[in-house]
Amino acid sequence: MVTGFDISELRQHIRDAGRVVRVVIVEHKGSTPRETGTSMLVTETGQVGTIGGGVLEFEAAADARNMLQTDGNWQRAFSKIPLGPNLGQCCGGSVSLLAECYGETELAHLETLQGPFVRPITSGEPTELPLPVQKHLRSARSGASNTALTLLNGWLIEPLETPQQPLWIYGAGHVGRALVTTLEGLPFAVTWVDSARDRFPTNIPPHADMLVAANPADAVAFAPDDAQHVVLTYSHSIDLEICLRVLNRAFGGLGLIGSDTKRTRFIRRLTEAGADASRLECPIGNRALGKEPMAIAVGVTAGLLEQLRVEKQKMREVSA
């Protein structure tokens, strides 16, 4: 599924290669191998992704490498290509491609965006938006028109892909349920862990993936290295084992529900077990908000969002 412009992937390839050409299908008609929004990244020595293969992709990649040999910022090239016998691709449709060269200058602009990436399909720095584009953006914000990639009056409107921070929540009790509820619509890929299906609500929210593990600590091994872990099970012994497993592997962050007394006890026992417990956060949330499950959940969610903000700022500083 095409979800939008992935700035994080582009950033990494610019760091590695210096300059990158992104080729994106901005329009397709009839039968085509890939849909609008599909893209690939091309460097001098390789490529990531595919726009459908065959002669179409081969020639697009060759043109992209030629673009890399040309100096200058904000380079773009638009082309409309019929997929017929001349390309050896008899799909019968046609695609419109936009090739754009990205380096540090263009990346710095992208890092400032809070909404869709809007630019002309001709070379040059994005300038004042024409009225039809402004009208479309207003309509999209109000929900009256779609927010998908749109080619309009020689301008391309493309949504940005929202990075999903892996978040593993252990415990489906009152606080766990409240926390999952508050995370709806936020940029987290939620994995919700507990020991039995009947510990979860009947209907699992669509933004969370349920994982049943007889021993919830066993689930830790399946989390990505950058995952945030929030531990709030019904059992101190289960909490302790989960924390120990997390601390003995790569992880993004570790939060544990509890009091200052629980923190002291856990720090001692984790240290005795040979773990470095300095990154354990306990208590979690914002005490000023109260002790109700939803109040705790709101505080925890705010903390997670703040961590995301800090990490994003660090990435901007590194790329500057």
Average pLDDT over residues 34-59: 91
Amino acid occupying residue 276: D
Q: What is the pLDDT of residues 61-82, one digit of tens each?
A: 999 999 999 999 999 999 998 8
- Which tops the pLDDT comparison, 185 or 250? 250
| pLDDT at residue 89 greater than cutoff 70 | no
| pLDDT at residue 285 greater than cutoff 90 | yes
Sheet architecture: strand order including 208-212: 208-212, 188-194, 165-170, 228-231, 253-256, 280-281
Amino acid occupying residue 157: I
| pLDDT at residue 2 greater than cutoff 90 | no
Q: What is the pLDDT of residues 110-168, one digit of tens each?
A: 988 878 999 999 999 888 899 999 999 998 887 666 668 999 999 999 998 876 889 99
Q: What is the pLDDT of residues 251-284, one digit of tens each?
A: 999 999 999 999 999 999 999 999 999 999 999 9
Q: How large is the greatest C-alpha to C-alpha distance in the chain, in angstroms?
A: 74
**CB hemisphere CA count around 166 (13 angstroms):** 14
Predicted pLDDT of residue 146 = 64
Q: What is the pLDDT of residues 182-212, one digit of tens each?
A: 999 888 989 999 999 999 999 999 889 999 9
Predicted pLDDT of residue 145 = 60
| pLDDT at residue 316 greater than cutoff 80 | no
Grade residue 92 by pLDDT with cuts at 50, 70 and 90.
low
- Residue spans of the domains in the chain: they are 7-158, 165-314
Predicted pLDDT of residue 26 = 94
**Distances from the Cα of 108 to the Cα of 12, 112, 159, angstroms:** 13, 7, 17
**CA 169 – CA 257 distance, rounded (Å):** 11
Predicted pLDDT of residue 114 = 78
Overall residue count recorded for the chain in this entry? 320
Predicted pLDDT of residue 277 = 96
Sheet architecture: strand order including 20-29: 47-49, 39-42, 20-29, 94-102, 76-82
Q: What global pTM score does this model have?
A: 0.58
State what percent of residues in the chain have pLDDT above 70. Answer: 92
- Which tops the pLDDT comparison, 71 or 8? 71
Predicted pLDDT of residue 84 = 67
Predicted pLDDT of residue 221 = 95
Class of domain 165-314: alpha beta
Grade residue 1 by pLDDT with cuts at 50, 70 and 90.
very low
